[in-house]
Amino acid sequence: MLTEKMLKTLNEQVKKEAYASHLYLAMASWVENQGFEGIAEWFYAQSEEERVHMMKFIRYINERGGHAIVPVIEEPPKDFPGIKAAFEASLEHEQMVSGAINDIVALALHEKDFATNNWIQWFVEEQREEEDSVQRIIDRLEIIGDHGHGLYVFDRDIMAMRGTH
Ligand code: FEO
């Protein structure tokens, strides 16, 4: 059984993952409207991944005898100041999520809930990979600039950067 505190914390994480999925979906839609189909694909795929994360939390909570709550999701921004700015906002968001995952690890260890500690380790690794992948994109955009020909090439190649570490 999960403690009340763990149940509440895991349900808060459901909401964070749901918001992340919404945020990436908003970025995908905005980017697609700017005419960058490859970058939009990247954000659409990211949004799907975040939905999978949310589902993992929902299923885990219920499996452990808790009640996973499907949350109201806050409306994400509609517009973003630029392509690089959108990725910077993504990185900031991922860092916040990593902090929340680390807090769950700390709580699990504090409560001697080793099952949750084991289960959450997948997310620890996933967050490390996500931060790394967004950082590499920002680094690339810093080199090529986020306009003109460089961005056209980047839009063509970005999907190839998924899952290559
Ligand atoms: Fe599921 Fe990227 O946080």
If one counts the domains in the chain, the total is 1
pLDDT tens string 9-42:
999 999 999 999 999 999 999 999 999 999 999 9
- The ligand 1 atom at the shortest distance from the C-alpha of residue 101 is 3
Domain span at 94: 4-161
- Angle, helices 114-144/148-157, rounded to nearest 10 degrees: 140
In contact, 134 and 91? CB cutoff 8 Å: yes
Gap between the Cα atoms of 19 and 38, Å rounded: 23
- The ligand 1 atom at the shortest distance from the C-alpha of residue 17 is 1
Cβ of 16 closer than 6 Å to ligand 1, yes or no, is: no
pLDDT tens string 54-67:
999 999 999 999 99
pTM of the model: 0.94
Domain at 91, CATH number: 1.20.1260.10
- Percent with pLDDT over 90 in the chain: 88
Cβ of 133 closer than 6 Å to ligand 1, yes or no, is: no
